[in-house]
Structure 1
């Protein structure tokens, strides 16, 4: 299981309704995009970090393992603003306002990513996807998402087992052996994926599948106090960011 899924099933907000966490997490994401980078994005980033490691109870190491991937994309995207192509300075030269723009973009994207992760780290897909049908999403779309989500973990587990077996047979000792093992890994995973899909289809047919996957959804209600507190926090962050707004320079 991926770190983000482990946290989603073990955090303190696990039993809360997805709407509660969507208001907070996605609200922080909207603020990170719409408020000034300084101090708006910084306030959003710190708030999301405190909520995740505090009330939600997500371990810091697990959070970092998942956050470093989108953070890498944020850094890569911001780095491109440091240079300009063409102009009197040469084919490639440092942009005059590059550091400021790069800093603003990095603050916005990193804070927005953490806002999305707040929702993802506290809401298992098994709680979210079945409720999308009630929200108006077509049932076949939700069924495909559920099956894809489940099959993804089975495929990752198969890849891990195959790779361990190859390593135990000295399949990665040389570069040539590594390439052969990689080819075998892809071929075996491809065959196993089709085999699991066929068995899944046969199992569903044997259970009278009629086009809809019926699953048990944990009972949860939207908490008015939690939602009100989330909206109050978002409003307070907005006011504080506008009051403390200063140019990033």
Structure 2
């Protein structure tokens, strides 16, 4: 096994997303176990290479110059190859560009589209998702809400982590020596594979996009986010979830 070093690009990812302690890792693993996902598109990914620990083929897109160092770091690839949760060869493509202009990728060719704190990925990059493919989103920038009011997507469930909060996630302190310990890896892998912390809800889903006062959520309400911060929106929703799962209809 090639030696793995905690170099600048890998460190950037670990310090922000926490490697095997990543809040989103159990969600990704749950998806893999429940749906036939082979090819993943992750626009606005920043350095979030956790997705490649679960899915063999992932395309990352981000226009933040500082994100490129993680993808260029040889130890990032070594980290993925050492701790990936599958036997296939890992295939990663990273484009340092605006996700409105993704080069070399064919429309309708992806099984999963991910949107985490990245704007309206559902509309901008939906063309790359095959019919029947899955769209996974948070609602920090109203992208889940945008998917909900769209005729192109059907909300099929919401997911929550019942054991930890994503709002505390980035503040965790992870020791370098622990990250590269085989006992730590085996323990974390067992936890991840159990998926015991993931709660999937598939009933009464309309309640998650029901405003507290207004009769229903509209496109105009959703698009307020383009001019206002989330705290300044004219409405609040009755319920929230960590992540929202949609199926593409067209």
TM-score clears 0.5: no
Higher strand share: 2
Q: Which of 1 and 2 has higher RCO (CA within 8 Å, sep 6+)? A: 1
Larger radius of gyration between Structure 1 and Structure 2: 1
- Compute the TM-score of the two structures, normalised by the length of structure 2: 0.27
- The TM-score with structure 1 as length reference comes to 0.27
